[in-house]
Amino acid sequence: MHEMGIVLHIAKTLNETAEEEKITKIGSVTLQVGEVSGIITDLFVDCWNYFKVRNEILKDSELKLETLPAVTFCGDCEKTYPTVKYGRECPYCGSYETWLLTGNECIIKEIEAETL
Amino acid sequence: MEKRYDIVEIKENVLADNDRVAGKIREELRRSNTCFINLMASPGAGKTSLLIKTIEALKDKYSIGVMEADADGDVDAKTISALGVRTLQIHTGGLCHMDADMTFRGLKELGFEDLDLIFLENVGNLVCPAEFDVGAALQVMILSVPEGDDKPLKYPLMFKVSDCMIVNKIDAEAVFDFDYEACVERARALNPEIRPFRLSALKGENVDEWIRYLDGFIREWRK
Ligand SMILES: Nc1nc2c(ncn2[C@@H]2O[C@H](COP(=O)(O)OP(=O)(O)OP(=O)(O)O)[C@@H](O)[C@H]2O)c(=O)[nH]1
Ligand SMILES: [Mg+2]
Ligand SMILES: [Zn+2]
């Protein structure tokens, strides 16, 4: 799986932010993970823990995960519904002309940081 | 000692970032008129074998570059560069796919402005490469006969994101009881637009059909 790749990407972004903002230590990282982002959170946390102890700025940080619900929009009846429960078929009119509005993202929301 | 922390808002969409970089790759390659092809498959499905045949057929017509992405080693890069095309070995450091950022860095290191055609031999894996857009103009996946005709059922995303499905090692079809028609039907159920090929990269059977298609695609894309 590609959880490690995502961890590396986040770490890179945070290290760049740290440099720009003169951050010396990160206390916590809050991530918002969409329900259908494809990220397996257990695996993600394992990768994160493996990586963070090897990274000076992140090593004492706490990882906070928030789930973003997945919502699908129906192009035929123009209603929205929860993706995970109903999938591609609109529960109101049975249409398959539906698309995901939110829920496939992985967002670095904020960090708690110690500066000089 | 009590530590005090400030909150720093970041609000960066990690997955969207990949798409943004992939978009940038497309822009740059459009500008240099370089057609970029992403080749994906399980380990040993025949990516390098098909690349060799493809390069041999097209290298007098196009200036070609190849990026070989592997967890480690450089055997494929050595084989490919022996054909006289510009080759770059990328080590993913154990990662199971190429993302757009690594691809962009690879393209810059390879040098793409003067090339007509670039292939990426992605990491051998049917799962993760499918999830990461690398900015290619054409997505090609290879399924080899020994893997079985049920693979579209097990790795649907790979078949959804691919423009071409190349069934390779058809010289071994009888041994493995591979049902080509059933396989194509399963792939089309996921992706009606997918273009199937049935060939043997080793024996050369039907490779010309693939070359003709690819050549046509490249010509169309570059004009
Ligand atoms: N019988 C048969 N063998 C093939 C065919 N194509 C490739 N092979 C063999 O399959 C093995 C793997 O082929 P490669 O081309 O190295 O496969 P690959 O996908 O590049 O493998 P990795 O880069 O290691 O993931 C080699 O021993 C090839 O000779 C084919 O059409 N028929
Ligand atoms: Mg290979
Ligand atoms: Zn509806």
- Other Cβ atoms within 10 Å of A9 Cβ, number: 21
Q: Is residue B26, in this structure, part of any structural domain at all?
A: yes
**What is the predicted pLDDT for the residue at B4?**
66
**What is the predicted pLDDT for the residue at B3?**
56
CA atoms within 13 A on the CB side of A80: 9
Q: Measured between CA atoms, how close is B223 to chain A, in angstroms? A: 34
Kindly state if the Cβ of B43 falls inside 6 Å of ligand 1: yes
Q: What interface predicted TM-score (ipTM) does this complex get?
A: 0.72
**What is the predicted pLDDT for the residue at B94?**
67
Q: Of residues A21 and A116, which shows the higher confidence score?
A: A21
φ/ψ of B105, rounded to 5, equals -60, -40
Chain A residues inside the 8 Å CB shell of B96: 1-2, 5
CB contact under 8 A, A17 and B17: no
Q: Of residues A2 and B191, which shows the higher confidence score?
A: B191
Q: Is residue B25, in this structure, part of any structural domain at all?
A: yes
Kindly state if the Cβ of B76 falls inside 6 Å of ligand 1: yes
Burial class (CB within 10 angstroms; exposed 0-12, middle 13-18, buried 19+) of A15: middle
Q: What is the CATH number of the domain that holds B159?
A: 3.40.50.300
Kindly state the tokens that stand for B87.
């080759």
Q: Which range, of A110-114, B49-53, B69-73, B147-151, averages the lowest pLDDT? A: B69-73
Q: Is residue B115, in this structure, part of any structural domain at all?
A: yes
Residue bearing tokens 């510009």: B86
CB contact under 8 A, A2 and B132: yes
**Domain total in chain B:** 1
Evaluate if residue A115 carries a pLDDT over 90: no
- Buried b / exposed e over A76-90, threshold 16 CB at 10 Å, is ebeeebebeeeeeeb
Spatial separation of the C-alpha atoms in residues A28 and B7, rounded to whole Å: 9
Q: Is residue B112, in this structure, part of any structural domain at all?
A: yes
Evaluate if residue A116 carries a pLDDT over 80: no
For chain B, the maximum distance between any two Cα atoms, rounded to a whole number of angstroms, is 72
- Other Cβ atoms within 10 Å of B85 Cβ, number: 20
Residues 15-54 (B) with a CB less than 8 A from some CB of A: 15-18
How do the domains of chain A map onto residue ranges? 3-69+102-115
**What is the predicted pLDDT for the residue at B22?**
95
Q: Is residue B1, in this structure, part of any structural domain at all?
A: no
Averaged pLDDT of chain A: 91
Q: Measured between CA atoms, how close is B97 to chain A, in angstroms? A: 7
Q: Of residues A97 and B131, which shows the higher confidence score?
A: A97
Q: Is residue B5, in this structure, part of any structural domain at all?
A: no
Predicted confidence band at A1 (pLDDT cuts at 50, 70, 90)? low
Kindly state if the Cβ of B111 falls inside 6 Å of ligand 1: no
- 3-state SS, chain B, equals CCCCCEEEEEEEEHHHHHHHHHHHHHHHHHHCCCEEEEEEECCCCCHHHHHHHHHHHHCCCCCEEEEEEECCCCHHHHHHHCCCCEEEEEECCCCCCCCHHHHHHHHHHHCCCCCCEEEEECCCCCCHHHHCCCCCCEEEEEEEHHHCCCHHHHCHHHHHHCCEEEEECHHHHHHHCCCHHHHHHHHHHHCCCCEEEECCCCCCCCHHHHHHHHHHHHHHHHC
The residue segments making up the domain with residue B47 are 10-221
Ligand with smallest separation from the Cα of B199: 1
Q: Is residue B14, in this structure, part of any structural domain at all?
A: yes
Evaluate if residue A15 carries a pLDDT over 60: yes
- The CATH number given to A3-69+102-115 is 3.30.2320.50
Give CA B189 to chain center in angstroms: 22
Average pLDDT over residues B91-101: 80
**What is the predicted pLDDT for the residue at A90?**
96
φ/ψ of A106, rounded to 5, equals -140, 110
Evaluate if residue B95 carries a pLDDT over 90: no
Kindly state if the Cβ of B53 falls inside 6 Å of ligand 1: no
Predicted confidence band at B1 (pLDDT cuts at 50, 70, 90)? very low
User: A10 near A31, Cβ under 8 Å?
Assistant: yes
Average pLDDT over residues A68-83: 95
Residue bearing tokens 């493809």: B54
Average pLDDT over residues A80-99: 94
